[in-house]
Amino acid sequence: MKLSLVEVRHIAQLSRLALSEDEAELYAPQLSKIIDYVEQLNNLDTSAIEPTSHIIALNNVMADDIMGASLPRLEALKNAPDTTGKFYRIPKIIE
């Protein structure tokens, strides 16, 4: 399928691209080749292929929630830059 310069300018406008005349002339044959290549896909027999949104099955990869012992408070606060005994201390962010 050979694209005309009018069609190339229309595609550029839809794509929000500003093309000069030289660029439109340069891209017309390139876009035509791309469309010809994609048209080859219409010749493939896909009647035996089920429609799908993914090539492989998607599985949930989240782990089960299992209750365990909590980290002791002093252990959790050990690497904090500033604490107030039982809590983290952070800089005031509201003036």
Domain annotation for the chain: domains and CATH numbers = 5-43 (1.10.20.60)
Question: For residues 3 and 35, is the Cβ–Cβ distance under 8 A?
Answer: yes
Q: Which amino acid is at 83?
A: T
Write out pLDDT tens, residues 2-29: 899 999 999 999 999 999 999 999 999 9
Write out pLDDT tens, residues 37-63: 999 988 889 888 888 888 887 787 788
Sorted by sequence, the CB contacts under 8 Å of residue 88 that are 6+ apart come out as 77, 80, 82
Question: For residues 28 and 8, is the Cβ–Cβ distance under 8 A?
Answer: yes
Q: Checking phi first, is residue 75 left (phi over 0); if not, alpha (psi -120 to 50) or beta?
A: alpha
User: The pTM is what?
Assistant: 0.48
Separation CA 3–CA 24 (nearest Å): 10
Residue 13 CA to chain centroid, in angstroms?
Answer: 24
Predicted confidence (pLDDT) at residue 33 exceeds the cutoff of 90: yes
Residue 59's pLDDT is what? 81
Separation CA 93–CA 95 (nearest Å): 7
- Who has greater pLDDT, 61 or 77? 77
